[in-house]
Amino acid sequence: MMKNRWPVAFQVIETLENAGFEAYVVGGAVRDFIRGVHANDVDITTSATPSEVKQLFSHTIDVGIEHGTVLVVLEETIEVTTFRSEATYSDFRRPDQVAFVRSLREDLERRDFTMNAMALSKEDVVIDYFEGQADIEANLIKAVGDPLKRFSEDALRMLRVIRFSAQLDFQVDENTLEAIQSLHELIRHVSIERVKVELEKIWTTAHAGKGMDMFVSSNLAKEFPGDWSTNVEEWKSFSAFENKINGWAFFALSQEIDINLAEYKCSNAEMMYVKKVLQAANNLEENRWSNYDFFQFEENVLVAAASYTSILAGKQLPYSFEEIHQQKMAIPLASSKDIVVNGNDLMEWAEQKRGPWLKEVIDKLTVALVNGEIQNDRKQIRDWFFREYDN
Ligand code: ATP
Ligand code: MG
């Protein structure tokens, strides 16, 4: 029963019902319930308006009042959204305005797929106007209503089809798939931030490769920067990426021409990581890395660079992950910060002011330490310095 499965959601629904409103669990949680999978993330839909919801609970957070959403904070935080329809779509994006409605059916009608358009009462009665249960049984993703109309309203739904197909390993209903084929160009109108979120979700689902195959075969991929199609066979080798950023790393590594990930609104940290993976891949000479490479790149960067270059080149892994770990551990210097002398020491020994020479010396010293030519010990470093520079 819902009371045991989702006690906090149950309590929210009960409170709303006692105040005379309707309330149900909706969306992904119902889909997962029908599939026999436990969902932690439970959304509630209600006939109460946001201000009516706020009056009933002592702790709420406004996250999107204009879209009808209020967070109710109890032992857990639950998203409560007012029944709404999405009347005005202007340019193939999300609606600029929503209209609150008093009927559950209208709220369910505006949802994307039959499997996502069901509601569950607190007594575990499933409200299913669009045969969502049957489609789940058949492992099928089907648009609610006319797919051409639904994808024209919000083109992101086309990418969501692919994401859910990869996530659930479901097939796509024929009409729904044909609509994507004919409307793929509309995806250009969707903000790149929303696209990024869906791509990253595809990469971390159980069937990432299948998702990327569909991304290309549906022609959606053509509408975006870079080349997604040349390496589609290599993409297909993935079940799931360990994390979303490795998807970007693989994408960047697969490009013939450099890709600027700022076009996908990747963050600076994400771009920095990808850049390191590209550098590490580039530094592989005859499938080997120097000690300095093992020193300068983090283990996850090395692992990504090793596995993705081997996949893309169809070659054996240069190092097993265990070898990478061992080699990294065997480097006598873990970080430049650990070097026991500093710039002041070097300036004093050299009797010279700060200048470009200093960085050069530190770089050379680092290499000597990384290669184990000398130990990280003041006396040894001082001797090394006078050997190298005092002539
Ligand atoms: P997940 O397990 O990935 O969270 P979910 O079904 O909860 O899956 P969300 O993106 O969190 O997916 O959306 C919640 C619900 O809101 C969906 O189940 C669907 O009913 C509705 N929804 C979300 N995005 C759209 C959209 N673009 N168009 C129509 N309905 C949508
Ligand atoms: Mg969700």
For 322-376, the pLDDT digits (tens) are 999 999 999 999 999 999 999 999 999 999 999 999 999 999 999 999 999 999 9
Residue 135 has pLDDT above 70, yes or no: yes
Question: What global pTM score does this model have?
Answer: 0.90
Contact of 316 with 353, CB cutoff 8 Å: no
Work out which ligand 1 atom sits closest to the CA atom of 157.
Answer: 27
The residue nearest atom 3 of ligand 1, judged by CA position, is 28
For residue 154 and ligand 1, the question of a CB distance below 6 A is answered with yes
Work out which ligand 1 atom sits closest to the CA atom of 27.
Answer: 18
| Mean pLDDT, rounded, of the chain | 94
Residue 75 has pLDDT above 80, yes or no: yes
Which residues are CB-neighbours of 86 under 8 A, at least 6 positions away? 94, 95, 98, 99, 110, 153, 154
Tell me how far apart the alpha carbons of residues 24 and 19 are, in angstroms, rounded to a whole number: 14
For residue 111 and ligand 1, the question of a CB distance below 6 A is answered with yes
Task: For 3-52, write each residue's pLDDT tens digit.
Answer: 999 999 999 999 999 999 999 999 999 999 999 999 999 999 999 999 99
Task: For 227-258, write each residue's pLDDT tens digit.
Answer: 999 999 999 989 999 899 999 999 999 999 99
Task: For 177-186, write each residue's pLDDT tens digit.
Answer: 999 999 999 9
Residue 319 has pLDDT above 70, yes or no: yes
Best residue for ligand 1 mutational test, from 116, 150, 190, 198 (most atoms within 8 Å of Cβ): 116
Task: Tell me what pLDDT residue 94 has.
Answer: 63
Best residue for ligand 1 mutational test, from 112, 157, 176 (most atoms within 8 Å of Cβ): 112
Q: Which ligand is nearest to the CA of 119?
A: 1
Share of the chain above pLDDT 70, in %: 97
Best residue for ligand 1 mutational test, from 6, 30, 111 (most atoms within 8 Å of Cβ): 111
For residue 27 and ligand 1, the question of a CB distance below 6 A is answered with yes
- The pocket of ion ligand 2, defined by CB under 5 A, consists of 28
For residue 50 and ligand 1, the question of a CB distance below 6 A is answered with no
The mean pLDDT of 98-124, rounded to a whole number, is: 95
Tell me how far apart the alpha carbons of residues 230 and 51 are, in angstroms, rounded to a whole number: 52
Task: Tell me what pLDDT residue 64 has.
Answer: 83
Task: Tell me what pLDDT residue 65 has.
Answer: 84
272 versus 285: which is more confidently predicted? 272
Task: Tell me what pLDDT residue 358 has.
Answer: 94
Contact of 143 with 150, CB cutoff 8 Å: yes
Residue 270 has pLDDT above 90, yes or no: yes
The mean pLDDT of 282-294, rounded to a whole number, is: 93
Task: Tell me what pLDDT residue 66 has.
Answer: 84
Cα-to-centroid distance, 205 and ligand 2 (Å): 14
Tell me how far apart the alpha carbons of residues 342 and 8 are, in angstroms, rounded to a whole number: 57
Q: Which ligand is nearest to the CA of 31?
A: 1
* Beta bridge mates, 80: 44, 70
Residue 267 has pLDDT above 90, yes or no: yes
Task: For 146-164, write each residue's pLDDT tens digit.
Answer: 999 999 999 999 999 999 9
For residue 254 and ligand 1, the question of a CB distance below 6 A is answered with no
Tell me how far apart the alpha carbons of residues 267 and 261 are, in angstroms, rounded to a whole number: 9
Cα-to-centroid distance, 272 and ligand 2 (Å): 30
For residue 157 and ligand 1, the question of a CB distance below 6 A is answered with yes
Strands (E), 74-130: 77-82, 84-88, 97-100, 119-120, 126-127
Task: Tell me what pLDDT residue 89 has.
Answer: 59
For residue 112 and ligand 1, the question of a CB distance below 6 A is answered with yes
The residue nearest atom 30 of ligand 1, judged by CA position, is 111
Tell me how far apart the alpha carbons of residues 131 and 126 are, in angstroms, rounded to a whole number: 11
For residue 270 and ligand 1, the question of a CB distance below 6 A is answered with no
Task: Tell me what pLDDT residue 98 has.
Answer: 77
